[in-house]
Chain A
């Protein structure tokens, strides 16, 4: 019953093209997300944007790697920190920028704002946890329809505090729903470290329901890409549920100007910046060319958005 298709008319300078070498493509797509978020934060500083935003700086490899393996007919449900997921899926930088600017040209007419996005095959909501059963319902629809679509939901470590997540895991396992839960453990729930929030191990929460779990601690997009490929393929082949736990790190503040984490800890994690890790795999010239293309394309988006 899902008739979703990817948004046409994308800017290949941001999204890459299918015939581009894979390393270049992955770098470009991460760079796109990174620079979009940084551009957004600069616009906030300038006072052009209102409300709030939750940047995913440092976590770009997660969305890029997982979404590489999704296809039209799949569905993504995301959370408050959704820009990376949205951009990696739709490539629609202008629609998101316009949305956050509050313009009717935005993907949700300016009503949804940063956290409440909708596009073909994509939705997000800013309330923690409640998106997980909705994603399970979408998976159930795919099961009832007999399609081979996969429903993917991105949550964070902090969301593991919400009871409805566990209600849904139980149902997804019982009914063997084609639901992939991706946990991005960035070690901090807003201002609270996981050590003060989470008892036990994250993976154990899922294995308790008999769900297969793939787990890795990495910000290397190639490592993530491989594990994501296997996990997505497994869910598709089994037409059943799966879990991917990614231990990563948020290099930026939670929303805006609200970072009380130890500076030394954050500085150390910048050494594992996913763009730096993967960027060295490209020639300097190639990388700089991609950077310049992303910069130009985003600058055009900002000009259009400012003119709204």
Chain B
């Protein structure tokens, strides 16, 4: 089953299993079923709790806040991740604030799902990965869908939690099949720790890996493809770590891996400068000072507007070629 359908099935399970779950978003009802068809079928089955909204992202987030404050479990869909900018005040000054600023007198566990990222030639305002702007907001979980994580488990965790969460879904994941284990890169049992597990994939023992590559979302899938190719064709081995929750990030799996491999590369599709990888590099550089053989390498997209023309878009966004070049550089 392709990822979009798995995600839809996960949402259906949540609606069926918990009468407090409510879905809000633009064009999410049948027969259209959402711009990326993730919610198709859900409004027919749960008409009261699956609501199409006007084009009002701020109010979608804000109404979700009120529902959550009242004990409901709203899941809002923001049609394009770019439009999260229209929810920024709601997320930062309202949704993430209520629990802590009322000293626990209320909780506001809103889940906001949003299709993000480029590769579809949608141009400057429908292709961005804006999640880095939300990382570091106190009391906000930022989580990235990946093919290595079952969306049923991830969404159940988010909906069941006390803290609000942003669920970033790269558009190019939707038509893909989830990981099926048919790869030389074997997923290691992840340690869930206090939240969602970081999945580790490697073809050989960690001690034989020349580097640790950390990536999330669709970039994790691209990195997996590159590492699989390098392992098979050139016997270049690196361990790939795929966190679901990218902020706050569980540092333990990263530290455990890089302390053995001695080298680390981060990969993200968001723009370079003040990025997710910058934070990883800063923390790992401090934690593993003296134990890394080289500084943490950060790979991110060019800090430019994303062009609509496909060829030019590909020049700006991180792709397989850039990942391969970066891995070769790191293990050199």
Contacts of B68 in A (CB 8 A): 137
Q: Which of A116, A127, A134 contacts B102 (CB 8 A)?
A: A116
A212 close to chain B: CB less than 8 A: no
Q: Once bound together, how far apart are the Cα atoms of A133 and B74, in whole Å?
A: 14
Known A130-B62, A167-B56, A171-B54; contact A112-B67, beta-carbon cutoff 8 A: no
Q: Once bound together, how far apart are the Cα atoms of A131 and B93, in whole Å?
A: 10
Known A137-B64, A164-B59, A170-B56; contact A130-B70, beta-carbon cutoff 8 A: no
B89 to chain A, nearest CB (A): 6
Contact A140 B63 (CB under 8 A): yes
B93 to chain A, nearest CB (A): 5
B205 close to chain A: CB less than 8 A: no
A103 to chain B, nearest CB (A): 11
CB 8 Å contact bits of B60-75 with A (1 = contact, 0 = none):
0111111111111010
B83 close to chain A: CB less than 8 A: no
CB 8 Å contact bits of B66-108 with A (1 = contact, 0 = none):
1111111010000000000000011001100110111111100
Which B17-55 residues sit within 8 Å CB-CB of chain A?
20, 22, 48-49, 51, 53-54
Q: Once bound together, how far apart are the Cα atoms of A145 and B90, in whole Å?
A: 24
Contact B62 A134 (CB under 8 A): yes
B58 close to chain A: CB less than 8 A: yes
Known A130-B89, A164-B59; contact A111-B101, beta-carbon cutoff 8 A: yes
Contact A136 B101 (CB under 8 A): no
Q: Once bound together, how far apart are the Cα atoms of A135 and B93, in whole Å?
A: 15
Contact A133 B90 (CB under 8 A): yes
CB 8 Å contact bits of A81-119 with B (1 = contact, 0 = none):
000000000000000000000000001111110001111
Contacts of B97 in A (CB 8 A): 116, 125
Q: Once bound together, how far apart are the Cα atoms of A164 and B65, in whole Å?
A: 14
Count of interface residues, chain A, beta-carbon cutoff 8 Å: 40
A5 to chain B, nearest CB (A): 14
Contact A118 B48 (CB under 8 A): no
The interface centre, meaning the residue of B58, B59, B65 with most chain A CB atoms within 10 A of its CB, is: B59
Contacts of A167 in B (CB 8 A): 54, 56, 58-59, 62
CB 8 Å contact bits of B159-177 with A (1 = contact, 0 = none):
0000000000000000000
A2 close to chain B: CB less than 8 A: yes
Q: Once bound together, how far apart are the Cα atoms of A139 and B69, in whole Å?
A: 11
Contacts of A130 in B (CB 8 A): 58, 62, 89-90, 93-94
The interface centre, meaning the residue of A116, A117, A141 with most chain B CB atoms within 10 A of its CB, is: A141
Q: Once bound together, how far apart are the Cα atoms of A117 and B97, in whole Å?
A: 12
Q: Which of B20, B70, B93, B105 contacts A142 (CB 8 A)?
A: B70
Contact A138 B70 (CB under 8 A): yes
A300 to chain B, nearest CB (A): 24
A112 nearest CB neighbor, chain B only: B101
A21 close to chain B: CB less than 8 A: no
Contact B105 A118 (CB under 8 A): yes
Contact A108 B54 (CB under 8 A): no
CB 8 Å contact bits of A157-176 with B (1 = contact, 0 = none):
00000011001101100110
Contact B70 A133 (CB under 8 A): no
B59 nearest CB neighbor, chain A only: A167
B279 to chain A, nearest CB (A): 26
A144 close to chain B: CB less than 8 A: yes
Q: Once bound together, how far apart are the Cα atoms of A163 and B57, in whole Å?
A: 11
Contacts of A80 in B (CB 8 A): none
A143 nearest CB neighbor, chain B only: B48
Contact A141 B62 (CB under 8 A): no
A1 nearest CB neighbor, chain B only: B71
The interface centre, meaning the residue of B53, B61, B102, B106 with most chain A CB atoms within 10 A of its CB, is: B102
A104 nearest CB neighbor, chain B only: B103
Q: Once bound together, how far apart are the Cα atoms of A167 and B60, in whole Å?
A: 9
A148 to chain B, nearest CB (A): 14
A161 to chain B, nearest CB (A): 14
Contacts of A144 in B (CB 8 A): 22, 48-49, 72
Known A144-B48, A168-B62; contact A137-B69, beta-carbon cutoff 8 A: yes
B157 to chain A, nearest CB (A): 22
The interface centre, meaning the residue of A110, A123, A130, A175 with most chain B CB atoms within 10 A of its CB, is: A130
CB 8 Å contact bits of A165-190 with B (1 = contact, 0 = none):
00110110011000000000000000
The interface centre, meaning the residue of B20, B70, B94, B100 with most chain A CB atoms within 10 A of its CB, is: B70
8 further A-B pairs in the complex, CB-CB below 8 A; given A130-B58, A168-B63: A108-B101, A123-B98, A125-B97, A133-B59, A134-B69, A140-B66, A141-B72, A171-B56
Q: Which 9 A-B residue pairs are closest in the complex by CB-CB distance?
A: A137-B66, A133-B62, A141-B70, A109-B103, A118-B102, A167-B59, A167-B56, A118-B105, A137-B63
Q: Can you list 23 A-B pairs, Cβ within 8 angstroms, ordered by A?
A: A107-B105, A108-B102, A108-B105, A111-B100, A111-B102, A111-B103, A112-B102, A112-B103, A116-B97, A116-B101, A118-B98, A118-B103, A127-B89, A141-B70, A141-B71, A141-B72, A164-B56, A164-B62, A164-B90, A168-B56, A168-B62, A170-B59, A171-B59
